[in-house]
Amino acid sequence: MPVQIKLPTILRKHADGAPRVDADGSTLRELLKDLESRYPGITKNVVTDDGALHRFVNVYVNDEDVRYLGSLETELKDGDTVSILPAVAGGRV
Amino acid sequence: MSFTEEQVRRYARHIILPGIGGDGQRKLLDAKVLVIGAGGLGSPIAMYLAAAGVGTIGVLDFDRVDESNLQRQVIHATADVGRPKVASAADRMRAINPTIEVIEHDTILSSANAFEIIEPYDVVIDGTDNFPVRYLVNDATQFLGKPLVYGSIYQWDGQATVFTPGQEAPCYRCLFPQPPPPGTVPSCAEGGVFGVLPGIVGSIQATEAVKLITGKGEPLIGRLLIFDALEMDFQTVKVRWDADCPVCGKEPTITELIDYDAFCGVPSGATPTEAEHGVSTNPTT
């Protein structure tokens, strides 16, 4: 089941600069695993070594933060859009 | 609600605007806003709020204008290179609108001075460039009960939202409970930043500040605006109040300002900018 993933600029280097990529999975965990297999290294700063979500990166299914859905076990359906959002601090540099 | 003839001339387009009017313009004239950071985000924020007639505007920055700032920090001019940013910004704001009061805070915001500096203001706008000060500004505004207009940028991406203390509304810690470990997210000096980006995100922050002051429209509370300049994509996602938040949750565990360098894992005693830039002394911008 293909799901579209919106990538922040910082992760696009792993995907040849693509702003959006497709991956498969019926849950967020499966989706990110598939994403990692397609673009090695892309989820390094999204998922911890222990298999949890980092707390400085937010993941949204459509407009909802997955921490308030089922976290990595959030179920996905056809047509969902997953957005990855890292904390960024820039502005005044 | 009386205006001088000069005020009627200067603010005519707001006074006749449905949604601001004479009542809204009076609120702007009476408002006190603190802009933290006189850089990329702070430039449009400070200039638009000055133009709008926000009666008292504080500008806080400790840095000096560098040539590499001029690509995006449009409040500063080439002749300002080497000057304190707050002095340069204040000159430009007074040139735009000599009738407002500009307060220069030429200092680093810290746990020691944050309450004293922020307390007199009605609204705080975050235009900083580093995580320790962002968490400090969040916590201080939460403890003081001041609304905070948040904006952040990186390369081509921007974020903006509004945090209002109380009423089970989210704060920055609800959005990002922890800062990224140092080194995982490059600074703008390392990663570059699109020059127009802070103009857009800062203008959104100025918009939200005017809405908070005038009480008009639907502020970005509980919603995070995500902007992608390359794709020209605006997306809004929900920001939930976290009942377990250590600062604004039901049972807060952080009730006073802490050591934010330690919290963010940056070397103790380093200024935020030294910590941010320490790995790169040759900004790519």
- Measured in residues, chain B has a length of 285
Q: What is the pLDDT of residues B156-181, one digit of tens each?
A: 999 999 999 988 999 999 999 988 88
Q: For B277, which residue in chain A has the nearest alpha carbon?
A: A93
Interface of A with B in 20-79 (CB under 8 A): 45, 54-58, 60, 63-65, 67-68
pTM of the model: 0.92
Q: Is A17 on the interface with B (CB under 8 A)?
A: no
Residue found under tokens 């810690």: B173
Q: A44, exposed or middle or buried, with CB in 10 Å at 0-12, 13-18, 19+?
A: middle
Compute the C-alpha angle B183/B185/B190, nearest 5°.
85
Q: What is the pLDDT of residues A2-55, one digit of tens each?
A: 899 999 998 999 999 999 999 999 999 999 999 999 999 999 989 998 889 998
- Indicate the domain borders of chain A: 2-86
Q: Is A19 on the interface with B (CB under 8 A)?
A: yes
Q: What is the pLDDT of residues B41-56, one digit of tens each?
A: 999 999 999 999 999 9
Fold of the domain spanning A2-86: Ubiquitin-like (UB roll) (3.10.20)
Short-list B81, B53, B38, B59, CA closest to B198: B38
Q: Which residue type sits at B203?
A: S
Cβ distance B235 to A6 less than 8 Å, yes or no, reads yes
Q: What is the pLDDT of residues B202-214, one digit of tens each?
A: 999 999 999 999 9
pLDDT at B189: 67
The phi, psi pair for B25, rounded to 5°, reads: -65, -40
Q: Give the closest-approach CA distance of B182 to chain A in angstroms.
A: 12
d(CA B34, CA B148): 10
Q: B250, exposed or middle or buried, with CB in 10 Å at 0-12, 13-18, 19+?
A: exposed
Contacts of B74 (CB under 8 A, 6+ apart): B43, B44, B47, B199
pLDDT at B89: 98
DSSP state letters, B11-45: THHHHTSTTTHHHHHHHHHH-EEEEE-SSTTHHHH
Q: Which residue type sits at B205?
A: Q
- Which residues of B are less than 8 Å from A55 in CB distance? 176-178
Structural domains of chain B ordered from first start: 31-277 (3.40.50.720)
